[in-house]
Amino acid sequence: MGLTLNLANKGGNMTSKDLSIFNSLRPFSIGFDDMFDQFENMLGNGGLTMQSNYPPYNIRKTGKDKYSIEVALAGFSKKDVEVEFEDNLLTVRTKQVDKSEDKTEDGEIIHKGISQRQFARSFTIADDVKVNGAELKDGLLTIPCERIVPDYKKKKLIEIK
C-alpha cells in the first residue's frame, strides 16, 4: 500500500462509471471495504480534482518500506505551518497569518511581493504506515514515513496436514 492515489480523468470529475471500478473489485477482496469506501469518498465528492497545486510536493521512496513526503515551503518558518495526522489523513496547512508581523525590528515592509498564502495539503496514509515526525529546512518540509509490517502480514509457509 502506498501513501497516496493519483488518478487522472480527461473530463475533470469522476463519474459513477469510474466509481464502479471499486464496486466491481469488492467481490474479489476480503477486508478492504474501508479502503474502497475511502477512495469513493475522495473521488465521489471531487476531492482530488478540487485540491490546488500549491504548495508543490514530492513523494519519495527512500527504502524498501520507507517514504518521505517533501513539501516546498519557501518563505515559511516553523511557526507559520502545522502538520496534523488524524484518521489516516496527514494535513500540512498554514496557521493564521499575523498581519502585525509586517512591522518587525528589521523595519516595515513597504512592498510585499513574496506572499504567504493560506493553504492546506492533505495526504491519505495507509493503516500500516507510521509518520515519523517533520522537519523544515531550507524551505523544504520533510515528513518521513515508514511502513510497519506486522508479523501476521509477513510471508509464511502454511503446513498441509
Q: What is the pLDDT of residues 13-30, one digit of tens each?
A: 445 555 566 667 666 666
Closest CA to 59 of 152, 125, 154: 125
Residue the block writes with cell 469513493 = 40
- Give the angle subtended at the CA of 63 by the CAs of 58 and 65, to the nearest 5°: 95
The predicted model scores a pTM of: 0.62
Q: Is the pLDDT of residue 33 over 60?
A: yes
Q: 45: left (phi > 0), else alpha (psi -120 to 50), else beta? A: alpha
Mean pLDDT of the chain: 77
pLDDT at position 8, please? 38
CA trace torsion 22, 24, 27, 33 (10° rounding): 20
